[in-house]
Amino acid sequence: MSANPWLLCFEGILGRELLRFLQQRGRFFAALVRPLVWLFIFAAGFRSVLGVSIQPPYETYILYEVYIAPGLAGMILLFSGMQSSLSMVYDREMGSMRVLLVSPLPRWYLLSCKLVAATLVSCLQVYLFLAIAWFWEVQPPLVGYLTVFPALLLSGLMLGALGLLLSSVIRQLENFAGVMNFVIFPMFFTSSALYPLWRMRESSLLLYQISAANPFTHAVELIRFALYGQLDPTSLLLVLMWTVLFMGAAIFGYNPARGFVALTGKGE
């Protein structure tokens, strides 16, 4: 098979994701309002500086808004990844997924195209958030807006792959909202998105250990360092590892012989 059908498939899925995002204006504004509310209102209560002395990209004194901005960027990727997977459950119930998955292209490639397309859309949302946050004293170096893109892409792929995995085992659309609440909020609040890990360790060793094992923590740290033109090798390796594990499990879950089809007895 020539390369053209593969590229045509990706362009079609990407165009569908962009069109769906532009047509769903409520989703667009919700993606921006949620982190902006946290930035403008929640951070206002912590307007004082954080007196910390830790490794870069953290300064000795740093505004709380500057600290949590990468965490809020991660929040956008997390919610977008789950919402994209919600659409997979909807498409499966409506039958449109069957049209996609009966394509002669490999199933893993179709799922990968879906994942990459959804991640690119979520990265666009993050850049819009960062553009608005710039007027709220969140002003990283200009080069940071370039170096952060690979971190956003990789983190978005990891979180989107997790969403794909969840969508592969959920039978009905109404069950997905409950699962999202058991995934999104625990992942977000037990991460370093809002507070440094060292501060969690001071308050609770158990909470620190949970946060250190949380994949979302390392996604946030990867974004936080990249936004200031730096690299956290540990977070990079862990995010890569979790991305491969989640995506491999999602591909297995969508296997018609062994995945959710075999378990539920339903077609795509």
**Per-residue pLDDT in tens (0 to 9) along the chain, 268 residues:** 445 777 877 887 788 778 777 777 666 777 778 888 888 877 766 655 444 444 445 444 456 777 888 999 999 999 888 877 777 766 666 656 666 666 677 888 888 888 898 899 899 999 999 999 898 878 889 999 999 999 999 999 999 999 888 887 776 666 666 776 788 888 998 898 888 887 788 788 888 899 999 999 999 999 999 998 899 999 999 999 999 999 999 888 877 665 554 454 444 4
Phi and psi angles of residue 62, each rounded to the nearest 5 degrees, phi first = -140, 135
DSSP-derived 3-state class of residue 50: strand
Exposed (0-12), middle (13-18) or buried (19+): which is 65, by Cβ within 10 Å? buried
Confidence at residue 44, expressed as pLDDT on a 0 to 100 scale:
65
What pTM value is reported for the model?
A: 0.83
8 Å CB contact between 89 and 163: no
Residue 26 lies in a domain: yes
Contacts of 125 (CB under 8 A, 6+ apart): 28, 31, 32, 76, 80
Residue 268 lies in a domain: no
Report the alpha-carbon angle 243-247-252, nearest 5: 155
Residue 265 lies in a domain: no
The alpha carbon of 178 is separated from its chain's Cα centroid by a whole number of angstroms, namely 18
Confidence at residue 1, expressed as pLDDT on a 0 to 100 scale:
46
The token duo for 135 is 């007027």
Residue 67 lies in a domain: yes
Residue 194 lies in a domain: yes
The token duo for 171 is 């039978």
Confidence at residue 169, expressed as pLDDT on a 0 to 100 scale:
78
State how far the alpha carbon of 62 is from the alpha carbons of 135, 191, 197, 207, in Å: 16, 19, 16, 24
What one-letter code names the amino acid at 166? L
Residue 263 lies in a domain: no
State how far the alpha carbon of 172 is from the alpha carbons of 93, 160, 209, 230, 261, in Å: 7, 19, 34, 42, 13
DSSP 56-83: TTS-SEE-HHHHHHHHHHHHHHHHHHHH
- What CA–CA distance (Å, rounded) separates 229 from 223? 10
State how far the alpha carbon of 8 is from the alpha carbons of 2, 5, 12, 117, 259, in Å: 11, 5, 6, 13, 27
Number of domains in the chain: 1
For residue 204, the enclosing domain spans 3-257
8 Å CB contact between 166 and 89: no
Phi and psi angles of residue 235, each rounded to the nearest 5 degrees, phi first = -65, -40
State how far the alpha carbon of 204 is from the alpha carbons of 96, 190, 235, in Å: 47, 12, 22
